[in-house]
Structure 1
Amino acid sequence: MRMQIRNSRQGYGLVAVTLHWIIAFIVFAMFGLGLYMVDLDYYHPWYTDAPDLHRSIGIVLLALVSARLIWRLSNPQPAPVAGHGQLQRLAAAIVHWLLYLDLFIVMISGYLISTADGRSIDVFGLFDLPALLPAEKGREELAGIVHWYAALVLVSMAGLHAAAALKHHFIDRDETLRRMLGPSAGK
């Protein structure tokens, strides 16, 4: 069975599925990279390269999450899975929107850390994303605190989201996870 590009009432389309999994992979990889780079000392070969990579991937993530949100708002959402009550559907919707909100908090605070000194962000050597605010003493520290805690919340929520999908798949045996894997998954 060929996957449609757009969402349908039966399931998610190729664009939504692809963006979902790419974003999920990047979020967990960025969390790991962030944990790794904060402990690097000045003489480590990755001392400047890891933060540069983290910032560049963060900008790509911002573009992907923005595209995913636009795609979500411009496409029909699949019909609720049979057997999911109204409270369960409401909880799922709230969690999804909180994931988007926290993603943006993490990315905006990361941008504010990187541009606190008024310098732009070099994105893979391809272009510079300018600092939109003038340099401000103390912004980097405050943004860093927000970035750290928002990232912890994001990874925790994403982990719970994944656990819920696995529960739906293996315990409830419903279509929740299969719809995000594609129309032929699990059949």
Structure 2
Amino acid sequence: MQMSNTSAGYGLLAIVIHWVAAVAVIGLFALGFWMVDLSYYDDWYRRAPDIHRSIGALLFGLMALRLFWRIFSASPKPIAGHKRWETLSAHAAHALLYFLIFVATVSGFLISTADGSSVSVFGWFDVPSVTGQIKGLEDIAGVVHYWSTWALVALAAVHALGALKHHLVDRDETLRRILVPVRRNK
């Protein structure tokens, strides 16, 4: 298996990052949706937000790595049978997915650090506040976080449906390319 991408397909690193990020986004959304209704006396009242913040911070780092990798690694060529609008909409959707992940993770971080405190990532390290104390920041960041996460999950669903359409209807290699790493040339 090849680690890096080629013009024919994705390498192992891009595939692993893609699926880890997908699981993290879905898991963070589900955890966030669940934890907002926890009461003060619930055992998970403090633990769930700590886990949510930790995974969110790690997702930000993973996506920064993915963006770096995408800039400096080859991108697979579009599949020959794809129409131009499909290729353009796929590029636009990917760019918007990246943007929304960064908006969601940054706004989540700003919610947690608006009082000047840092975010502890599983107790391994702390990410300090970059804003200090800014009155009302958590409210603005909260609105941005709420809507960006809903938009992210909706777009991810459309993205998944598009991949399934290519696999089940068009019967092309679109989905297989993000499931199976390209083989090393011998």
Give the TM-score, by structure 2 length.
0.96
Aligned partners of 2:173 and 2:15: how far apart in 1?
14
Shift of 1:31: 0.2
1:112-143 deviations in Å (ceiling 9; x for gaps) = 00000000111111111000112111110110
Matched residue count: 182
1:171 corresponds in structure 2 to 169
1:157 corresponds in structure 2 to 155
Aligned partners of 1:68 and 1:35: how far apart in 2?
26
- 2:31 alignment partner, one of 33, 47, 53: 33
Q: Secondary structure at the match of 1:62?
A: helix
Aligned partners of 2:106 and 2:72: how far apart in 1?
24
- 1:50 alignment partner, one of 32, 48, 51: 48
Shift of 1:103: 0.6
Mapped contact 2:12–2:181 kept (Cα < 8 A): no
| 1:114 is the counterpart of 2:117 | no
**Could you tell me which amino acid in structure 2 is paired with residue 123 of structure 1?**
V
Aligned partners of 2:108 and 2:121: how far apart in 1?
14
| 1:128 is the counterpart of 2:126 | yes
Mapped contact 2:118–2:126 kept (Cα < 8 A): yes
Shift of 1:88: 1.4
Identity of aligned residues (%): 51
Aligned partners of 1:36 and 1:182: how far apart in 2?
33
**Could you tell me which amino acid in structure 2 is paired with residue 26 of structure 1?**
A
1:96 corresponds in structure 2 to 94
Shift of 1:9: 1.1
Shift of 1:11: 0.5
1:21-45 deviations in Å (ceiling 9; x for gaps) = 0000000000000011100000000
1:84 corresponds in structure 2 to 82
Q: Secondary structure at the match of 2:89?
A: helix
Aligned partners of 1:57 and 1:134: how far apart in 2?
22
Q: Which has the higher contact order (CA 8 A, sep 6+)?
A: 2
**Could you tell me which amino acid in structure 2 is paired with residue 102 of structure 1?**
L
Aligned partners of 2:107 and 2:128: how far apart in 1?
15
Gaps of 5+ in 2: none
Aligned partners of 2:131 and 2:51: how far apart in 1?
22
Mapped contact 2:15–2:181 kept (Cα < 8 A): no
**Could you tell me which amino acid in structure 1 is paired with residue 49 of structure 2?**
P
Aligned partners of 1:107 and 1:169: how far apart in 2?
31
Shift of 1:104: 0.5
**Could you tell me which amino acid in structure 1 is paired with residue 122 of structure 2?**
F
Q: Name the stretch that deviates more: 77-86 or 23-32.
A: 77-86
Q: Secondary structure at the match of 2:126?
A: strand
Gaps of 5+ in 1: none
